[in-house]
Amino acid sequence: MPTKRYVVDLTPEERDSLLAMVKRGSASARKLTRARMLLLADEGRKDEEIAAALHASRPTVERVRKRFVDGGLEHALHDRSRSGAPRKLSGRDEAMLVALACSAPPEGRTSWTMQLLADRLVSIEVIERISDETVRRVLKKRDEAVAEGAVVHPERRS
């Protein structure tokens, strides 16, 4: 049987810290599961046993062990930051959207819809293209636009 490549050997301080975290139970579920994985790995348990005990997969246990050996306790417990997608609208563009939503609706309409706002932003060249869902999310953050009652929900179109 091959030997483990990444062996977890916790210091007494690290072990006490993990036990205290698990006992408190106030961290995220993912962080607590990783702490339990490290504690069980330190006891010499096999990856399959740890995975079965914690309802995780064996590769997940392997990754946590590898992250601990490569980067230490904090690296093993926390996810690395993710950049996320860039914003579709700048602050100025969002202000333009809010102003548009608070303005009078187009002729023949009693109120703005998300799709009408998206189409208008494209037609006045604020942005090259945008979905009605992005417009909805921006306006949801901006209470002043919705508070005016100027925008109608897509399901309640007039």
- Say what the pLDDT of residue 144 is: 57
What is the rounded CA–CA span in Å between residue 31 and residue 111?
A: 47
Q: Which residue has the tokens 């999310």?
A: 137
For tokens 């179109």, what's the residue? 157
Q: Which residue has the higher pLDDT, 41 or 83?
A: 41
Per-residue confidence (pLDDT) for residue 14, from 0 to 100: 94
Sign of the CA dihedral with 125 first, then 98, 94, and 140 last: negative
The residue with greater pLDDT, 102 or 153, is 102
pLDDT > 70? residue 2: no
What pLDDT, on the 0 to 100 scale, is given for residue 149? 55
Decide: 150 and 112 in contact? Cβ < 8 Å: yes
Beta bridge partners of 151: 112
CB atoms under 10 Å from CB of 78, counted, come to: 14
Q: How confident is the model at residue 112 (pLDDT cuts 50, 70, 90)?
A: very high
| Model pLDDT, residue 97 | 92
CA 104 – CA 87 distance, rounded (Å): 27
Count of CA atoms in the C-beta half-sphere (13 A) of 23:
6
Cβ–Cβ < 8 Å for 106, 157:
no
pLDDT score of 41: 94
Taking 90 as the threshold, does the pLDDT of residue 146 lie above it? no
Using DSSP's 3-state secondary structure scheme, residue 113 falls into: coil
Q: Of 108, 127, 85, 155, nearest to 117 (Cα)?
A: 127
Name the phi and psi angles at 112, rounded to 5: -80, 145
